[in-house]
Structure 1
């Protein structure tokens, strides 16, 4: 089963914008209420049954079951009889909000994420099931059918591939407007690309965004750092305005649009770089980095600005789309190994930008040497060929 997600710009009417904003507000209230219910249940069980804590006590009966997704969905149906506002959004939309909360708790339990937090705003909602023809051509324009909202004009920037069906629609509100993310599904199995052709190893860093095993160095654009002065100016102006005034809202919108511009610029660079790598070789190997640790270090701002996690995800997608082999290898010690003789050269200081092996005399850029080691480890992981750099030879 092949799934794709295409994003399109929506062109709603004023009434439809008001409806979407109202639904987002209701979704936020449902999410926060359900989280509050779960949080209260947890807090009521933090002290012993026969004694009360100084900080909390049993405000919920001891035999009350733990709020789960199924129980909260059942409670939501009962709440609709008392709160008419909950009848406005589609039922499946509110159920998906509760499912999103359940996923946040599962991520906390299984993957070590933090405790879910209350939302100040909800940015999207999803229609998980569609019974009608979702995207239609009518009166010379393209429309998308959204349950209980109606037909909304859509800018179909690229056609939906033949053989794919729209299974899910997520409506997203951003500073630049409203968007529809269409999840497309086709009943085919696409095999993973096989290792073949010219291979490329890449090493990600901050001195250069990446270095390839072929010796190419790609500079790192500083998207957020370069735009930080403008953001500071806008936020300084915002601080002087009266809250909830017209000018305050205008500046908030400008700041949000500039953040979106930075995000779009970074994503555009990642896609272009990924396609460039796929043009250079048929197999791409990258380091399996500990991104969480990197984003918490001394250079966290620059690491997050580079967006290594997003780039690796985009690179994997582009390689799959263009039938290129992609794999990650162990990142431990790639900058401490000589790619020619495999000698452990020891830890290098960050200021040391040249790799020079004392055993074989091989000398090259430090990041290029690390990328060559990544390529060697990628080939070794699949039992393919070994690359001996510095002599221009390939051997089995």
Structure 2
């Protein structure tokens, strides 16, 4: 099982300059290789391989000598990322690779090898950059696993975990260094702990819960529980508008403008962190309390095109919440059942099955003309989501089959779906 853990690092002034150079170099090599690959294919129908791109780096360093001062493996990794992007595009898992721009505020580069972690003094060593402070707020591997399986060297009484000394076991994978728009530096350590994913636990109607996500309430469960929407962005909107006005008043290129931009970015970072923390807590609670969860397959990218709801939908963060539910279900042997986005979950009476076709978004409660049951819109939807998901299991396949990944034809209607499928 591969897992990534993100930790904050604190480089000094010189190290920050080196990190920024690595960010820029990785972006430069990626864009240059993309241009070269498109040019050679469009003009000569030649498909350039990763080996060709890495060999071209030698001549590229002669043209741009400043590339010689940077970690060569990070530059090669940029080429590998480009080819991975093309592979994902041709296999239908992503869009066509485009050039990376500095103004997109996505700064990162990868270190495949030769990094070290000082477990005693909480420091990390990056090639061409040096040692810097790292906050290891959680263990990326258990102490028992490290002592039994990994090679640890001691320097002046301090225990250091060297990736180079543990290459054969292939536990310490690629390390990714990134910077947020707020100026915070992080490293993500990918590890292979050789643990297998647990077999999905059996479930039934009682251990399955339906979840209807929304804007007024973050989520309503088929059990009747309502999870309020904290609306982190809306609560901070006045402060953000004030900070944005402060940026607009400053002269472009001035130091005061840079300070104002930093303040604005930090507040955006605060809102994003609040939302992420909320998603993690709710998803962890739902996964631990239930054996199976039934959710809708939402077209979030299409829904945010509605300008009246775009800000609220972005604030609630449905896509990231569902993504967290899915990979945590895989970690702990739980099952995610998904129903199609065109199922009439809100318009169906969960008691008699009557369909109220005239139901609009502004109607929060409605009375069934057939059985006279008064429905709360969201609770009724969550109950129907659960019923439809369980009915789909009985219609499309056995319960045992639903525990694993289903084929593409049933992919979004039934089964335990993985975010990595």
Q: Considering the TM-score relative to the shorter chain, is it more than 0.5?
A: yes
TM-superposed deviation, 1:64: 6.9
C-alpha distance in structure 2 between counterparts of 1:192 and 1:85, whole Å: 51
C-alpha distance in structure 2 between counterparts of 1:380 and 1:278, whole Å: 22
TM-superposed deviation, 1:221: 2.2
Return closer, same or farther for 1:209/1:120 CA change in 2, 3 Å cut-off.
same
Task: Please tell me whether residue 91 in structure 1 is matched to residue 72 in structure 2.
Answer: yes
Of 107, 126, 134, the match for 1:146: 126
Runs of at least 5 residues in structure 1 that lack an aligned partner in the other structure: 46-61, 386-396
Question: CA offsets per residue over residues 201-238 of structure 1, 9 Å max, x none?
Answer: 00111222111101122222222233222222222222
Q: What secondary structure is seen at the aligned counterpart in 2 of 1:336?
A: coil
Q: TM-score, normalised by structure 1?
A: 0.82
Task: Report what 1:218 is aligned to.
Answer: 227
C-alpha distance in structure 2 between counterparts of 1:136 and 1:242, whole Å: 44
Task: Report what 2:13 is aligned to.
Answer: 14
* Counterpart contact for 1:35–1:118, Cα < 8 Å: no
Of 156, 169, 175, the match for 1:169: 175
C-alpha distance in structure 1 between counterparts of 2:354 and 2:88, whole Å: 41
Task: Please tell me whether residue 309 in structure 1 is matched to residue 309 in structure 2.
Answer: no
C-alpha distance in structure 2 between counterparts of 1:340 and 1:94, whole Å: 61
Of 329, 338, 342, the match for 2:339: 329
* Counterpart contact for 1:10–1:179, Cα < 8 Å: yes
RMSD: 2.6
C-alpha distance in structure 2 between counterparts of 1:114 and 1:303, whole Å: 26
Q: Give the number of equivalent residue pairs.
A: 362
Question: CA offsets per residue over residues 81-128 of structure 1, 9 Å max, x none?
Answer: 332211122222112222333444455553563661441155111112
Q: TM-score, normalised by structure 2?
A: 0.78
Return closer, same or farther for 1:40/1:184 CA change in 2, 3 Å cut-off.
same
Task: Report what 1:185 is aligned to.
Answer: 192
Q: What secondary structure is seen at the aligned counterpart in 2 of 1:382?
A: helix
Q: What secondary structure is seen at the aligned counterpart in 2 of 1:78?
A: helix
* Counterpart contact for 1:105–1:116, Cα < 8 Å: no
Q: What secondary structure is seen at the aligned counterpart in 2 of 1:203?
A: strand
Task: Report what 1:376 is aligned to.
Answer: 387
* Counterpart contact for 1:192–1:325, Cα < 8 Å: no
Listed as ranges, the matches of 1:48-87 within 5 Å are: 62-63=43-44, 65=46, 69-87=50-68
* Counterpart contact for 1:354–1:365, Cα < 8 Å: yes
Return closer, same or farther for 1:188/1:108 CA change in 2, 3 Å cut-off.
closer
Runs of at least 5 residues in structure 2 that lack an aligned partner in the other structure: 147-170, 400-421
Q: What secondary structure is seen at the aligned counterpart in 1 of 2:217?
A: coil
Of 287, 290, 305, the match for 1:278: 287
C-alpha distance in structure 2 between counterparts of 1:88 and 1:144, whole Å: 20
Task: Report what 1:33 is aligned to.
Answer: 32
* Counterpart contact for 1:169–1:183, Cα < 8 Å: yes
Return closer, same or farther for 1:191/1:279 CA change in 2, 3 Å cut-off.
closer
Structure 1 stretch 202-211 or stretch 333-342: which is displaced more? Answer: 333-342
C-alpha distance in structure 1 between counterparts of 2:333 and 2:93, whole Å: 31
